[in-house]
Amino acid sequence: MTDQGHWMVMLQRVFYPVLAIVGIPCKYDDFCFCLLWLSQTFLDFLRLYVQCCLLFFQANVVTFLIFWKRNCMLSKSSTYYLMAISVADTLVLIFIVVLEITLKYHTVEPYWSWDPWCSLRDIFNYGAHNASTWLVVSFTVERFVAINTLSLKTKLCTPRCAIIVIITVYSCSHLFAIPYYWSNKSSFNESDHEMLWACVYNQEATDFYVHTLVWSQTALVYILPFIIIFSLNGLTLRQIVHSNKVHNDPNLPHKCAIYFRSKKRKSMVLLITVSMTFALLSVTRFITQIILRTAFYGVNRNDYSIPINVAADIGTMLGLSNAAVNMYLYACTQSKFRRELVSCIKLTISSCKTCKPLQNDYPS
């Protein structure tokens, strides 16, 4: 049965709008309020969105602007990677969190219930998710090369190389998502005595196609990234520990040794935090999606009396949370970035204090 009052449904109705609010920007001016002329279906959600935008500070876009406009004492190539990650994470929040999941809980028939959007939806969703994952991998490789191989640093850790890699990652990520065009189809959903269009798994798809799609996507966004990130971070940590022994040389000046140890400690905190967070937030979805797409392919995903549906949605919530917090894991370990962030918060608060409240121009 489909229980719209199930605690999992209520949790997701609240969780995904908040997740989108945290990660997606909203200008603090009257432009947000002009969106309220939209249909009654979106009216309550938009009011909540506008009000909450005044309380939350959007991570991805603010980070992008800080890296773009301010000097955070990072190399140009690293800055480009961090900006690209913020864009990819924002696309994940827009396509998956807002346009798919949030609309599912706030509209009866989302626009992607009909063709061609039903077939195109997963191309954009998986394309954005693939890009977000592999930009993290690319940035990890860039840091590994910069720390461990000085001979390649001048060739690979350049702004031009970073731009080429970013464009390649975005292009290939969406190309690898094209097979999902045939994974869904639009059909009538006759549940609850209603005839509504719904975008459902294509039951006519062969087992070979389904298993190939599941395992290729699993390898692309989980297995290979896990192997690369953990391997390179492990080698980088080994190099940092080795260099710490060098900088403990008693012949080095005391202040110089403290400076080098401080920089290495910050690098270790960054690497461990990013690796463990990425793994912990992704492992639940990694396991549940394999089970769901193989042993339970075609099951009613709205039936929360089936334990795998609850586990799968919790895994999705954890995995998508990485798109909202991913930038802080990289950027907030930098003291220069923190100072710029505090400066932006103070500027925003100062601007909000000078804003005039909206006046009701219509008679009551």
Mean pLDDT per block of 10 residues along the chain (364 residues) reads 65 72 48 37 44 45 67 74 86 84 75 80 91 90 81 83 94 93 78 68 81 87 89 80 59 55 63 75 84 74 80 85 73 67 70 57 46
Phi, psi of 187, rounded to the nearest 5 degrees: -150, 165
Alpha-carbon distance of 284 to 302, in angstroms, equals 19
Q: Is residue 17 part of a domain?
A: yes
Strand partners, 186: 199
Alpha-carbon distance of 38 to 324, in angstroms, equals 26
- In sequence order, what DSSP letters do the residues of 108-175 get, joined into one string? SS-GGGSTTHHHHHHHHHHHHHHHHHHHHHHHHHHHHHHHH-HHHHHHHSSHHHHHHHHHHHHHHHHH
CATH number, domain of 267, equals: 1.20.1070.10
Q: What is the pLDDT of residue 71?
A: 65
Q: Is residue 221 part of a domain?
A: yes
Q: Is residue 338 part of a domain?
A: yes
Q: What is the pLDDT of residue 364?
A: 41
Alpha-carbon distance of 94 to 320, in angstroms, equals 11
Would you say 9 and 304 are in contact if contact means Cβ atoms under 8 Å apart? Answer: yes
Q: Is residue 68 part of a domain?
A: yes
Question: Residue 69: which domain range?
Answer: 7-353
Q: Is residue 110 part of a domain?
A: yes
Q: Which amino acid is at 48?
A: L
Q: Is residue 41 part of a domain?
A: yes
Total domains present in the chain? 1
Length of the chain: 364
pTM to 2 decimal places: 0.74
Residue with tokens 């929040």: 93
Strands 184-189, 196-201: pairing is: antiparallel
DSSP class of residue 28 equals S
Q: Is residue 239 part of a domain?
A: yes
Q: Is residue 364 part of a domain?
A: no
